[in-house]
Amino acid sequence: MKGSNVAAFLIGAIAGGVTALLYAPQSGKKTRKQVREFVNEEMGQAGEFVERAAEKAKNAMSRGVRQVQQGVSQAHEHVDNEMAGAKADLCECANGRKE
């Protein structure tokens, strides 16, 4: 699920739960307590979700950084090898060994 879909789902769940509690046939004090407990529980779950999502994003970013670093290292190695080969070819041409 994308972030905006998750946020919409959580907001809808909280709104639906609060609406259900408000229409329940009981005292206002009891209803307010239930609403408070429900919202606190949902907010806790939302916080846990955000923490898990942040951890996954951090791990994905770390993997991406490592892959980019490996790619850059391989590119440097390739360029260094090509430069060494080109330098050797130039030296041979300068010494008249190669045409």
Please write the tens of the pLDDT for every residue from 43-99: 888 888 889 989 999 999 999 999 999 999 999 999 999 998 888 888 877 777 555
Write out the residue range of the structural domain in which residue 27 sits.
3-94
Determine, yes or no, domain membership for 26.
yes
Residue with tokens 């951090």: 58
Please report the pLDDT score of residue 58 as a whole number.
93
Of 11 and 68, the structure prediction assigns the larger pLDDT to: 68
* Cβ-contact 36, 44 below 8 angstroms: no
Please report the pLDDT score of residue 13 as a whole number.
81
Determine, yes or no, domain membership for 52.
yes
Determine, yes or no, domain membership for 16.
yes
The runs of H, that is alpha helices, within 1-99 are 3-22, 28-94
Please report the pLDDT score of residue 2 as a whole number.
59
* Cβ-contact 42, 17 below 8 angstroms: yes
pTM over 0.75: no
Most confident segment among 19-28, 31-40, 60-69: 60-69
Angle made by CA atoms 55, 1, 52, in degrees to the nearest 5: 15
| Count of structural domains, the chain | 1
**32, amino acid identity:** R
Residue 39 Cα to chain centre, angstroms? 26
Determine, yes or no, domain membership for 99.
no
Determine, yes or no, domain membership for 72.
yes
